[in-house]
Amino acid sequence: MIHTNINTDSFKVASLSDYDRAVKIIEEAESSIAQLVGNEITLIAYEKIEGLKRKI
């Protein structure tokens, strides 16, 4: 099993309300992956937060 650590300090959930085609592509990808793996899949789009200084 692969575990992924998602650092959301540098990213926020992307607002795709004005991008119907992007949402459709994500929904199609979710459906295709779900068929392959046999489980419901949810894909989440994140966008990088501009202007943040990286914490060290």
* pTM beyond 0.85, yes or no: no
Phi, psi of 47 (to 5 degrees): -125, 145
Domain spans of the chain?
11-48
Angle CA(9)–CA(55)–CA(44) in degrees, nearest 5? 20
Q: Any idea what the Cα angle at residue 12 is, between residues 2 and 14, rounded to 5°?
A: 100
Per-residue tens of pLDDT for the chain, all 56 residues: 677 776 678 888 999 999 999 999 999 999 999 999 999 999 999 998 887 555 54
Cα separation of 56 and 5, whole Å?
Answer: 17
Q: How far apart are the C-alpha atoms of 46 and 56, rounded to whole Å? A: 22
Tens-digit pLDDT profile for residues 19-31: 999 999 999 999 9
Measured from the Cβ of residue 10, the count of other Cβ atoms closer than 10 Å reads 11
